[in-house]
Structure 1
Amino acid sequence: MGCEAPATVGKLVAVNTSGSYLWEVPLETEKPSGGFGCAPAAIPAAIYGTPAVEVEEGLVYVGSYNGKIYAINSSSGALRWVYPREGNLQPVVGGAVVALGRVYIGSSSGTLYALDAVTGDKEWEFQTGDKIWSTST
C-alpha cells in the first residue's frame, strides 16, 4: 500500500458524491523545506488531514502542509479567509475540527490553534509540548 500522486498540484479540488467536479481553489505553491509526501517529492500545499465541513456557514476548513489554514465557501469555492494572513505555521498534517463557532487545528510545531470560524481570527493557542500529527478530538 502507498499513496498515489495526485492529479493536481497546488490546488484544493471539490467533487460531489458521484465524483463530478464542483470547484477548485489554488493554494500557495511554495516549495516545502522538508517533510514527506505521497509523491516522489513533497508536493507543495499537500493536504493530509480530512477537511471539516460547517454546513450552517457553508464553509470547508482545511489545513495544509504549507503551514496555512483555509476557509473555503462550499458552494462557490471562493476563499473566505486564510490563517495566518502573513507568513506560515509549521506544517499542518491533521484535520480541522469545528465546534462552538471555532476551528481547532494543530500544527507539527505542537501548537493547537482555536480560530474564529467566520473571520479566521486567532482566539487562542496552546503549546502541547510535542508535535501534532493527527486530528484533535
Structure 2
Amino acid sequence: MCPLPKLPQHRELFSQLSSIHARLSNQRSIAKKHPVHRCNEVQAEAATQFLNILWHYLESLCLNLKSHTITNVQSNKDRVSLLLKDSFIDSFPARDQPFIKLFVDTQLFTVLSDSRLTSFESGES
C-alpha cells in the first residue's frame, strides 16, 4: 500500500464531518442489530448531510476548472473543451498537488469535470 496524500483543506472538511461522525457513532449499537440496507431516520439524515458536504467539497476543488480549459468552436458551432490537467494541478498550492495529481486520474474527477466542461460548452457557466 502506498500512503495517501492529505486532502486539500482537510482540517475544514474534518471539522464539517466530525459532528455527523459523532451522531453516527452514537448509532453504532443500532447498526450492529440491523442490516446495512436498513437505516433509521437519524442515519439516513446523517448520510445525506455527509454526501452533501462531500459533494460541495469536491465542487470546491474544481472551482477554477474553466480557467484551465481550451475550447474549440467547430464549424457547425459545436464547442469542444479540453482540460489542461497539468495547468489545473499546478494551480494548487504545492502541499495539495500530490492529492490533486491522483484525484485527476479518478473516474469521479472525470465525471465531475466532464459535467463542468459540458456546462461551459453550452454556455451555462
TM over 0.5: no
Give TM-score, length-normalised by structure 1. Answer: 0.19
Give TM-score, length-normalised by structure 2. Answer: 0.20
Q: Which structure dedicates a bigger proportion of its chain to strand?
A: 1
Larger relative contact order (Cα-Cα within 8 Å, sequence gap ≥ 6)? 2
Larger radius of gyration between Structure 1 and Structure 2: 2
Q: Which structure dedicates a bigger proportion of its chain to helix?
A: 2
